[in-house]
């Protein structure tokens, strides 16, 4: 049996990291230096009053200062741009980056953000149906000369998208989300890669649902790469690590909803994250890998510091 190579990326999440461009630039450059395979930027317009830079503008800027690291959206919100415009933006970014785009897309979730920006926020089934049409349009525009499409929510007619992406047949498409009825069906139909958060047991359950959807739509389950997105904090000294996490918990940087005592929060975090010594983190990674996960998009909780990123690279990833 051939050994599967695991891939590790750095996820820069404005829920935890002040999303100024300078902080993202530092994170991306350090991730590339340390040998991470990819860097991922979330697609939010606002989260409370935190500073947030726009996803694709930022990825384009990062493409100009990096050389090898792949550049991903985790995940682009289908509702914030028309699919045809998003296809054009993605194609352009793939050209600018010389074929380094990792295209992640999702149906959107933050009602407050939608309403503040004047974007309609329909129920989940409609948002996911819109995303499915969006992915169909994007794939057609990336692979066909003058495609047309008429859907319930979006349409294109004889559209030209030139230049096409460098990657063939198109940049890898990651669909984020774990909704069992609609989202995982969309993953089975359209995605090159699935992505969601969760504990090992939760992940196993979701993969079982995805496998059932693949069987129903006639898709080879093994064709879809499985990826995990989550938080990490590595420490060689258990008490020092606990103290750092307690300081983070008290800082107000995290959205802890509903409010809960520190020990309860820490237990839940540890179950669904890479928290602990290098050997503990490696053991958890191996549990996910045993389920078929080959890509890990990691949000380091000490960001914008890059200390934990370096510790992880040297003691876990290597």
Could you report the per-residue pLDDT of 180-223, keeping only the tens digit for each? 999 999 999 999 999 999 999 999 999 999 999 999 999 999 99
Average pLDDT estimate for 104-108 = 97
Beta-carbon contacts of 313 under 8 Å, excluding residues fewer than 6 positions away, are 34, 35, 36
In angstroms, the CA 15 to CA 17 distance is 6
For 171-181, write each residue's pLDDT tens digit.
Answer: 999 999 999 99
Burial code (b: 16+ CB inside 10 Å, e: under 16) for 98-109 equals: eebbbbbbbbbe
The confidence score (pLDDT) of residue 1 equals 42
Cβ neighbors of 95 (< 8 A, separation 6 or more) are 163, 165, 166
Average pLDDT over residues 15-35: 87
CB of 115 closer than 8 Å to CB of 87? no
Q: Which residues pair with 93 in a beta bridge?
A: none
Name all domains of the chain by residue range, CATH numbers in brackets: 7-237+274-317 (3.20.20.30)
Q: What is the mean pLDDT of residues 46-64?
A: 92
H/E run at residue 88: helix 83-96
Task: State mean pLDDT over 262-284.
Answer: 95
Query: Quick one: average pLDDT of 90-111?
Result: 97
Task: Indicate if the pLDDT at residue 15 is higher than 80.
Answer: no
Reference 305, options 238, 247, 237, 239; nearest CA is: 247
In the predicted model, what is the mean pLDDT of residues 304-316?
A: 95
C-alpha of 251 from chain center: 25
Q: Which tokens in the block code for residue 69?
A: 């690291």
Q: Is the pLDDT of residue 313 over 70?
A: yes
Query: How far apart (Å, rounded) are the C-alpha atoms in residues 141 and 50?
Result: 35
Mean pLDDT of 297-305: 93
pTM equals 0.94
**Residue 85 CB: number of other CB atoms within 10 A?**
10
pLDDT digits (tens, 9 = 90+) for 130-154: 999 999 999 999 999 999 999 999 9
Q: How far is CA 18 from CA 100, 116, 287, 309, in A?
A: 25, 20, 31, 17
Mean pLDDT for the chain overall: 94
156 contacts 141 by C-beta, under 8 angstroms = yes
Residue (of 4, 5, 3, 93) closest to 43 by Cα position: 93
Share of the chain above pLDDT 90, in %: 87
Q: DSSP readout, 111-129?
A: HHHHHHTT-----HHHHHH
User: Over 80: is that where the pLDDT of 4 sits?
Assistant: no
């Amino acid at each position: 049996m051939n050994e599967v190579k695991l891939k590790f990326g750095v996820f820069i999440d404005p829920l935890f990291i002040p999303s100024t461009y300078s902080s993202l630039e530092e994170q991306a450059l350090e991730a590339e230096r340390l040998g991470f395979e990819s860097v991922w930027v979330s697609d939010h317009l606002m989260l409370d009053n935190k500073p947030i830079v726009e996803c694709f503008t930022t990825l384009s800027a990062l493409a100009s200062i990096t050389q090898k690291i792949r550049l991903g959206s985790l995940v682009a919100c289908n509702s914030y741009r028309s699919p045809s415009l998003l296809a054009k933006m993605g194609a352009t970014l793939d050209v600018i980056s010389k074929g380094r785009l990792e295209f992640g897309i999702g149906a959107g979730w933050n009602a407050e953000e939608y309403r503040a920006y004047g974007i309609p926020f329909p129920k989940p089934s409609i948002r996911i149906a819109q995303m499915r049409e969006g992915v169909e349009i994007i794939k057609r525009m990336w692979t066909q000369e003058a495609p047309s499409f008429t859907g319930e929510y979006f349409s294109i007619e004889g559209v030209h998208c030139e230049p096409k992406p460098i990657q063939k047949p198109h940049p890898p498409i990651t669909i984020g989300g774990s909704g069992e009825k609609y989202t995982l069906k969309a993953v089975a139909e359209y995605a090159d890669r699935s992505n969601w958060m969760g504990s090992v047991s939760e992940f196993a359950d979701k993969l079982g649902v995805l496998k059932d959807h693949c069987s129903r739509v006639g898709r080879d389950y093994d064709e879809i790469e499985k990826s995990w997105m989550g938080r990490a904090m590595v420490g060689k000294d258990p008490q020092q690590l606990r103290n750092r996490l307690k300081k983070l918990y008290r800082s107000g940087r995290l959205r802890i909803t509903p409010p809960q005592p520190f020990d309860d929060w820490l237990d839940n975090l540890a179950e669904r994250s890479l928290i602990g010594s290098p050997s503990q983190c490696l053991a958890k990674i191996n549990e996910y890998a045993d389920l078929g996960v080959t890509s890990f998009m990691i949000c380091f909780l000490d960001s914008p510091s890059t200390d934990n990123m370096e510790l992880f690279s040297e003691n876990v990833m290597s």
